[in-house]
Structure 1
């Protein structure tokens, strides 16, 4: 979900040789954690926390906390709703030049929830069934960050983007890993296959992760495999440590990877049927 330059979208498109149809992916793993969203109201606070404010990538949306207009559970789904509306910026600082402090009011709101400080995992099958929102500028994601992000920072903590969808690339989904090499420089590996029209219905997005590799799935299609022998920084292999989950919808802007937002698409809704972890 973190993006440094718009050129990254080109860098992660790998040759079609890595695309493979995985028929009836079978796993001996057992379920150890899930949220089936079979209740109503705000997300379960024993499982989910919130990000707040303008958080990353100079994105336009302001993430709100415990606000049902932006994040709620209803009719068996978690709904993350992104809206065009004026909303006060709690971090506003008059005269500040910082992008996340200089605006007194946000013009867009959304939500980003995560399991940080509640649950994290090393290895397993991490799976979500969801319907992503389309439209120019939409940028929903299902992703993971290293549990030690507060101490080693990004990208040294590692990032696993199980699913990113860009409204401007309506036939693709993206699966990516980000990490720092031994010199501390950002490295990215991933793929963005053409899969049809993800925004037209519910699909399963998953990774199968062990001590050797991370395999990325769209429904039964295994479209990218990342070998864990690749990243080895000064603190060892970051993808052999715990990661926590995040769910959010961001909005792009001119010059960003997601591109500028078309206000006419708003509000948009990201529907998550369930999130499950197997080991």
Structure 2
């Protein structure tokens, strides 16, 4: 059963009180076709989600493991911890960063629906609260089911990390460029200070990220504000394949440090990335 959702925001404007309607996908002819409400307490539902394990990408500091993702009080909680973990793949002579680290200094979780739920076109909504401390790199994203990255296509509905040292909210899409592992990007980068100026308490609140995906475009919204619109006539790989004309699966993760997260060494842990729900609507 869907949790009650408030479709009207009440705020003061001078002496008047104004009701502002939030976008409702069902009012635009969409039907709810998949939902994860995180209703059951304990472990993440294995019928919906799989886990990444170990070191994965971007020189990130965290070791991904299952215990850091739990469900409590109707919410998914991904916890980033500062704790030392032996790297079972350690090789001091390796040039691979995933192998030449003797220890992981942090742990977290990354979950995905690959092979369990995939969709092509529609609206995806994720209500979440992110921790914006130094070193945190939470994300809501999708990947295409066929071809290796970036030929499979990546949609970053939400990323929060440091761009040239400045805290930033991002909404992106990536596809293949010439050369192996080279990507073309359509980025939107909004300084996080823009949100703090509007609401100093922003990090302590839940916010709604929405992706509207059609054959023609991908639009990414945050609290009904359009952040980025990607023209899918442009997103063609060198081999002619359009990775956004195939099904994608959903990923939720909290990375720490790495290429973009910032230095977490002075940050107080544990940290929590909390997701209230994930919903997919289609016409």
Q: In structure 1, list runs of 5 or more residues that go unmatched.
A: 1-21
Aligned match of 1:42: 43
Secondary structure at the counterpart of residue 98 of structure 1: coil
Separation in structure 2 between the aligned mates of residue 40 and residue 169 of structure 1, nearest angstrom = 36
CA contact (8 A) 2:134 2:267 kept: no
Deviation track 1:188-232 (CA, whole Å, cap 9, x = no partner) reads 002123551442210001100000000010011112110100111
CA contact (8 A) 2:118 2:250 kept: yes
User: For residues 135 and 166 of structure 1, what CA distance do their matches in structure 2 show?
Assistant: 10
Q: 1:182 to 1:96 in 2, by over 3 A?
A: closer
Q: Secondary structure at the match of 2:273?
A: strand
Deviations 1:7-33 (A, max 9, x none): xxxxxxxxxxxxxxx974343211111
Three-state SS of the structure 1 residue aligned to 2:261 is coil
Render the CA deviation track for 1:133-180: whole Å, top value 9, x for unaligned.
1211110000011111xxx2111111000000127645x421000111
Give the gaps of 5 or more residues in structure 2: 1-19, 197-201
**Whole-angstrom CA distance in 1 between matches of 2:265 and 2:195:** 22
Residue pairs, 1:26-41, within 5 angstroms = 26=24, 27-41=28-42
SS in 2 for 1:270: strand
| Superposition RMSD in Å | 1.9
1:162 aligns with 2:167: no
Q: Does 1:266 align with 2:262?
A: no
> d(CA) in 2 for partners of 1:23 and 1:218?
15
Q: Distance in 1 between matches of 2:21 and 2:244?
A: 26
Offset at 1:122? 0.7
- Classify the secondary structure of the residue corresponding to 2:156: strand
Q: How far 1:236 moved relative to its partner?
A: 2.0
Inter-CA distance 52–208: structure 2 relative to 1 (3 Å threshold)? same
Is 1:144 paired with 2:148? no
Q: Which residue of 1 aligns with 2:186?
A: 189
Structure number with the higher strand fraction is 2
- Tell me the distance in 2 between the aligned counterparts of 1:199 and 1:245: 23
Measure, in 2, the Cα distance between the counterparts of 1:228 and 1:264.
39
1:232-251, CA deviations, whole angstroms, 9 ceiling, x for partnerless residues? 12142111111111000111
Point out the more displaced range, 22-31 or 94-103.
22-31
Return the TM-score normalized by structure 1: 0.84
Q: 1:173 matched to which residue of 2?
A: 169
- TM-score, normalization by structure 2: 0.82
Give the corresponding residue for 1:14.
none
**1:99-125 deviations in whole A, cap 9, x for unaligned?**
101223211000000001111111111
Describe the SS at the equivalent of 1:240: coil
Distance (whole Å) between structure 2 residues aligned to residue 73 and residue 169 of structure 1: 32
The separation in 2 between residues aligned to 1:252 and 1:163, in whole angstroms, is: 17
Q: Provide the aligned length of Structure 1 versus Structure 2.
A: 249
